[in-house]
Amino acid sequence: MQRILVMGCSGSGKTTFARALAERLALPYVSIDALFWQPGWREPDMPAFSAAMAEVAAQDAWVIDGNYIRHGAGELRRARADTVFWFDLPRIACLAGIMRRIVSSYGQVRPEMAPGCPERVDWAFLRYVWTYRREQRPKLVAYVQGLRTDQHLVAFTSRRQANACLAGDLAEPVPAGAGA
């Protein structure tokens, strides 16, 4: 594994997993949120963001944490990835993760975020997480269905599975089509 996407709903644990995986495999960690968000939670100039993501995807090795499949060279990242870890957790698990994150880091900028984007209570974001399975998950399902047979997909339905994966042998991921 040299080019890895870690995807799924916010609050699912994908960032924690991606950072630990990158450290374990000695690969560069890339947070899409840090590239996307501008100070004050402003959205970026989309052509500039897409160019930045294309530059990242062109590198030889990475662990990229985040979705943004419509923008930011989503197709290029999928084409270049050799492995996708997909956090497909229940809504309640993701909401609990978001609430823990808000409580533990409210008002602070988390390490994987862009400068000037402190943790906050954002009702639109909570709604996004609440409706993720209905509105966003189908898009991610279609995205991972576009993987080639030489790419690998590992789908987690619990944080326990992700932790077991990190603790175990990462040399043999599940081939695409066998995980989800």
36 contacts 44 by C-beta, under 8 angstroms:
yes
Pick from 39-43, 76-80, 112-116: least confident: 112-116
Helix (H) / strand (E) element for 63: namely: strand 62-65
pLDDT band at 34 (very low <50, low <70, confident <90, very high): very high
pLDDT band at 178 (very low <50, low <70, confident <90, very high): very low
Q: Which two tokens stand for residue 26?
A: 């000695």
| pLDDT score, position 177 | 47
Domain layout of the chain by residue ranges: 3-167
Q: Which two tokens stand for residue 108?
A: 């602070």
CATH topology of domain 3-167: Rossmann fold (3.40.50)
pLDDT in tens, 58-110: 999 999 999 988 876 788 999 999 999 999 999 999 999 999 998 998 888 98
pTM (2 d.p.): 0.90
H-assigned helices in the chain: 14-25, 32-36, 46-57, 74-80, 91-105, 123-130, 132-135, 137-145, 159-167
